[in-house]
Chains A and B, each alone.
Chain A
Amino acid sequence: MADIALVRAVNTPDDTPGSEPRGYWNTVGDRLMHDRVTLGVSAVLLLIICLAVFAPWAATHDPLQGSVIRRLKPVGTPGFFLGTDETGRDIWSRLVYGGRLSLFCGIAPVVLATMIGGMLGLLAGIGGRLLNNLIMRVVDVFYAFPSVLLAIAICGVIGAGIGNTILSLTIVFIAPIVRVTESLTTQVKTRDFVEAARASAAPLLAIIRHQILPNVLGGILVYATSLVSISIILSAGLSFLGLGVTPPNPEWGLMLNALRQSIFVNPLVAALPGVAIVITSLCFNLLSDGLRSAMDIKLPS
């Protein structure tokens, strides 16, 4: 999870936005265009997202209707090219529809946590000692709970279901995001150009918008993208324990859980939801790395 060293690795160079915002982002864009791995990964992600969004057209069958006589058919069965699950539903269709829920459970908590946590972190960073302490100590209390533990406990309290899963994951992610944001903000705050801006009596909001935010955003973006992959795996883990999405909704973690009983009958089919999770998660991680690489480069002076 968040660690100071990670933050240091995201160190932005001295020629930073605030002085030449357009130049920096252009350079980032250029670097991205030449990074084949990141481009490839982004393409794959785009494909997965499209499949999920256009699921009704991409799927071949109703993901909720199965038939006991055609359960656990192997990969390559005519008509069900990825096989069927334990109650006879088409795996491909469920994977595609499942992408919606899994991606949603992966992205939504991170987005929400970034908005809330980012704001809190900024406040803590630029606010005075008191505000900083207040926010950070409360965050520390939540940060003290290992994320899996906290997610399980919260889900145990409020129950299972998509909404509750997203809520509990959001709560879990706010703490690390606040920490990262605050750390980044504090670092930027002490930079010369910020000091200069403050000395010139520029309004606080303008300082935030022009000096602080552009420097901080990159780091947050990188961190948030890596959190998405954790979020996907965590929500799958919650479903594995019976605390996440409820059946019969297709969701990759839930499918993994349901199919693991069938692992001796048809291991390949049972492994498929896991493959989906790995690919998506891997892509988000590589994307995060690519972004970090792109933004880390020293500007040509």
Chain B
Amino acid sequence: MARFVAFRLCHTVLILFGVSVVAFGLIHLIPGNPLDILLPPEAPKAVVDQLRAEFGFDKPLHVQYLAWVGRVLTGNLGTSVFTGLQVTHELLSALGNTLVLAVPAALLGFTLGTTFGTVAAFNHGRPLDKVFSVIAILGLSMPHYWLGIALVIVFAVLWNALPAAGMGGTGGLPTSWEEIQHMILPVVTLSMIPMGVIGRMVRSTVLEILSHEFPTGLRAKGLRSRQIVFHVLKNAAPPALAVMGLQLGYLLGGSILVETVFNWPGSGQFMNLAIFRRDIPVLQGTVLVLASLFVVINLLVDLVQALIDPRMRR
């Protein structure tokens, strides 16, 4: 087991290195640099060139890469060309804002998905199975940002029951009922996909467990239905939890569309804005951090699974 862990850690470091190269390279392939956007089009070339030298964009790429890696290793992700603020600071607050949505969304998706999936599996072959399956799958089949717009129209504009956009406060964890209200619609929208993925996952896992016939054996031993369900869930939990972990990672990186619709200042919007403005320091830092988070979550999930199921260790 220890060997497995050490192995995976080594791989993780390699992957992170690869991620940094891809992140850096990808961003520098995008045409244009932040100065083209920062400065009005009328800016004379001399002014642009001077600023370019100031920010170090005139040096050859590999020099820039090494300088950047050096800074990253000391914890300094650079400074935004547009706001002059530290990327680390801005990214962490943006990530925090996304987590405020992503964690409840993952939990909600997990709860709903597990419920739908279990009910569907236990009623396999009957109409209830189809109904709950379809509900779960709908979560996957719908462009969730489209649902978000629809929810905004119904709840914010037509019924004036919930706010239309923004966080309602200054960011971070919700500290007031108003801030929680601002969270409701985006969380529901974001939970669609996890619900769908986990729902299908749980259904097929429970079906597999049920087909192994030991619930019949359990019933023979005298356990009641509720306890059988409990047993089944206990066995279905590990893979479902694994998927939830992965979905959390996915939400962190894929929240951009929902954040755009709800004007939520999270990491997705942060990233999208950086691409739009070619804010290279921000882009590099953000992509690196998000991808690294994803890698770490993957690693944790794999380790947990290996703990539970020795077959997973390779």
Contact = CB atoms under 8 A, between A and B. Distances in A.
The answer to whether A and B interact is yes
Interface of A: 1, 3-6, 8-9, 11, 37, 137-138, 140-149, 152-154, 156-158, 186, 226, 229-230, 233, 236-237, 240-241, 253, 256, 260, 263-264, 267, 271, 274, 277-278, 281-282, 284-286, 289, 292, 296, 298
Which size bracket describes the interface of B in this complex?
35 or more
Contacts of A8: 205, 239
A146 B243 CA distance: 14
Contact of B15 (A144, A253, A267): A144
Q: Choose among A152, A186, A229 the residue with the greatest number of B CB atoms under 10 Å from its CB.
A: A152
19 contacts: A3-B246, A4-B302, A4-B312, A5-B240, A141-B18, A142-B22, A144-B295, A146-B252, A148-B256, A149-B253, A149-B287, A152-B272, A157-B29, A229-B141, A233-B142, A237-B257, A256-B143, A285-B200, A286-B133
Contacts of B290: 145-146, 149
A236 B146 CA distance: 10
A138 B18 contact: yes
B104 to A, nearest CB: 19
A77 B101 CA distance: 42
Interface of chain A, helix or strand or loop or mixed? helix
Interface of B: 11, 14-15, 18-19, 22, 26-27, 29-31, 130, 133-134, 137-138, 140-143, 145-146, 149-150, 153, 157, 200-201, 204-205, 208, 211, 238-240, 242-243, 246, 249-250, 252-254, 256-257, 260, 271-272, 275, 287, 290-292, 294-295, 298, 302, 305, 312, 314
Nearest to A183: B314
A230 B196 CA distance: 12
A240 to B, nearest CB: 7
A195 B29 CA distance: 47
Contact of A241 (B153, B200, B257): B257
Q: Closest 10 interchain pairs by CB? A: A146-B253, A5-B239, A141-B18, A281-B141, A282-B141, A148-B254, A9-B204, A144-B291, A157-B29, A274-B146
Q: Choose among A153, A263, A264, A286 the residue with the greatest number of B CB atoms under 10 Å from its CB.
A: A153
A158 B314 CA distance: 37
B239 A148 contact: no
Contacts of B146: 256, 260, 271, 274, 277
Nearest to B146: A274
Given A148-B254, A186-B314, A230-B140, 5 more contacts: A137-B18, A140-B18, A146-B249, A226-B140, A286-B133
Contacts of B253: 145-149
Contact of B142 (A143, A281, A286): A281
